[in-house]
């Protein structure tokens, strides 16, 4: 249950980034990517966002 929910979130997250960086009027035609290259370092993500000007989606999870 938890795993599948997380997968769902991953897809949703990928779609979110697409929306964030895509043109608003094109959002319904933009295909969601098949996989996501997640940063695992906060600092690296922050540096990347600074360069690209994109917002950040930050997922705090646990292994419980």
Buried b (16+ CB within 10 A) or exposed e, 4-21: eeeeeeeeebbbebeeee
| Subset of 1-60 contacting other proteins (CB under 8 A) | 2, 5-6, 8-9, 11-17, 19-20, 36-42, 45-46, 49-50, 52-60
CA angle 55, 58, 64 (to 5 degrees): 170
Tell me whether residue 6 or residue 26 sits nearer to other proteins (CB atom): 6
Residues at the site binding other proteins, with contacts judged by CB under 8 A: 2, 5-6, 8-9, 11-17, 19-20, 36-42, 45-46, 49-50, 52-64
């Amino acid at each position: 249950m938890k795993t599948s929910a997380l997968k769902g979130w991953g897809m949703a997250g990928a779609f979110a980034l697409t929306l964030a960086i895509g043109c608003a009027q094109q959002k319904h035609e933009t295909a969601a990517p098949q996989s996501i290259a997640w940063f695992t370092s906060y600092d690296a993500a922050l540096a990347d966002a600074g360069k690209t000007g994109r917002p950040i989606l930050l997922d705090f999870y646990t292994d419980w």
